[in-house]
Amino acid sequence: MRSLPHQPGVRSKLPGAVLSLPLMDYETARRLQWRLHDERVSDVRPDTLVLLEHEPVLTLGRTTKRAHWNGGDAVPGRRDLRVIETERGGSVTYHGPGQVVGYPIVKLRHFCPGPKAYMRMLEEVIIRVLSDWGIEGRRVDKFVGVWVNDPLDPAGALAKIAAMGVKIVRGVTMHGFALNVTVDLAPFSGIVPCGIEGCRVTSMAEVLRGNVEPDEVRDRITRRFGDVFGLNWQDSRHERGAA
């Protein structure tokens, strides 16, 4: 794929595609990611952002220890919760309805020099999205993700509102971020989220003490992702609702 012409010192926006999809089981989404990844490597599709929500599942990243999830037995009322080992970075996390998950399938060299800079860009997207609702998102040294003042203990430790874990194969990214919008927070209490001891997880709805529409958050993620990554959305598909 050719780079677009640009003025010296000014990078033109690159073409991009958004797939906003229905509630989807994790393995189906995983297969989709690999297909899109192969298409991006082969330059038959532009840099792509997939947005969706997952059916309830625990996913285990490459640094997960059994103590982080205790075999799933500690997850309240969810002994039958599916557990899937993944190739992404990071430890254990929970996905469920009301959590907007983003899977960027992009050529890394188009946007930044390496994985660390890429993670900072993903954090920036979420920080800008939260600011649109008047929520101050923060970074925490040594930990990846986005944090906010804990609405249940404002003077205490920060609470995590967005988790991140990626994989980069042949220069193209997979996996990505998960922003808690209205997701049930109870399952997080039975795990060590992202392998961080003492970490409490929160959501936009809990912080705002009111309803937030995940579809509105998807739309704002699309806009902010385009801003941060310099993408001009030229193709999009929206198939929201139950799968």
Q: What is the pLDDT along the chain (243 residues), one digit of tens a residue?
A: 333 333 334 467 899 999 999 999 999 999 999 999 999 999 999 999 999 999 999 988 888 777 777 765 656 656 668 888 898 998 888 999 999 999 999 999 999 999 999 999 999 999 999 999 999 999 998 899 999 999 999 999 999 999 999 999 999 999 999 999 999 999 998 887 887 787 899 999 999 999 899 999 999 999 999 999 999 999 777 765 443
Which CATH number describes the domain made up of 15-238?
Answer: 3.30.930.10
Distance (Å, whole) CA 75 – CA 57: 11
Annotated catalytic residue, options 194, 199, 201, 228: 194
What does the alpha-carbon distance between residue 4 and residue 69 come to, in Å, rounded to a whole number?
Answer: 46
57-60 and 47-52: which strand pairing?
unpaired
- What residues are paired with 16 via a beta bridge? 47, 233
Strand order in the sheet with 47-52: 138-140, 143-148, 159-169, 172-180, 99-105, 47-52, 14-20, 231-238
- pTM: predicted TM-score of the whole model, two decimal places: 0.90
Computed on alpha carbons and rounded to an integer, the radius of gyration of the chain in Å comes to 17
CA-to-CA separations, 143 to 7, 113, 178, 213, in angstroms, rounded: 37, 20, 15, 28
Q: Give the pair of three-digit tokens for residue 209.
A: 């003490």
Let me know: does 39 contact 67? Beta carbons within 8 Å.
no
Is 194 an annotated catalytic residue?
yes
